[in-house]
């Protein structure tokens, strides 16, 4: 069985371009939407994403919407805890495909790490 996990030095989720994420206002609280938009750099990437190391500069204090856990995903998307694993895998695969491509090294690494 595939098990979701964050793959280090991927960063696909740090590509925050609002044009690629329609309906942000449907799952982010107004203050979160404001914070989200303030994090988007001119290139569509989070201003806290270090492109050289491919890591988040504020990982330990990252916003709620950057965290994958059952409580947050339940509140934001209405996902039940038992659905989180499959939902998170699908979200990551969609984001990785959109940012890097469906045959990218990042997708291969993700699929391997989660057991697909």
Tell whether 77 is covered by a domain: yes
pLDDT tens digits, residue range 19-38? Answer: 999 899 999 999 999 999 99
Question: Which pLDDT belongs to residue 4?
Answer: 96
- Show the domain range for 99: 12-114
pLDDT tens digits, residue range 44-63? Answer: 999 999 999 999 999 999 99
Tell whether 57 is covered by a domain: yes
Number of domains in the chain: 1
Tell whether 20 is covered by a domain: yes
Tell whether 5 is covered by a domain: no
Tell whether 7 is covered by a domain: no
Question: Which pLDDT belongs to residue 58?
Answer: 97
Question: Which pLDDT belongs to residue 1?
Answer: 86
Tell whether 99 is covered by a domain: yes
Tell whether 4 is covered by a domain: no
Distances (CA, A) of 93 to 3, 15, 61, 100, 116: 13, 14, 25, 10, 11
Record the pTM. 0.92
Instruction: State yes or no: pLDDT of 84 exceeds 90.
Output: yes
């Amino acid at each position: 069985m595939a098990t979701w996990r964050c793959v280090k030095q991927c960063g696909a989720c740090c590509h925050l371009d609002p044009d690629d994420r329609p309906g942000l206002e449907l799952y982010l609280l107004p203050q979160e939407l404001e914070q989200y938009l303030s994090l988007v750099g001119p290139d569509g990437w989070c201003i806290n994403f270090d492109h050289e190391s491919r890591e988040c500069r504020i990982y330990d204090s990252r916003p709620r919407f950057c965290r994958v856990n059952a409580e947050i995903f339940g509140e934001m998307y209405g996902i039940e805890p038992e659905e989180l694993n499959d939902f998170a895998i699908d979200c990551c695969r969609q984001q990785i495909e959109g940012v890097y491509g469906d045959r990218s090294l990042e997708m291969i690494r993700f699929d391997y790490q989660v057991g697909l």
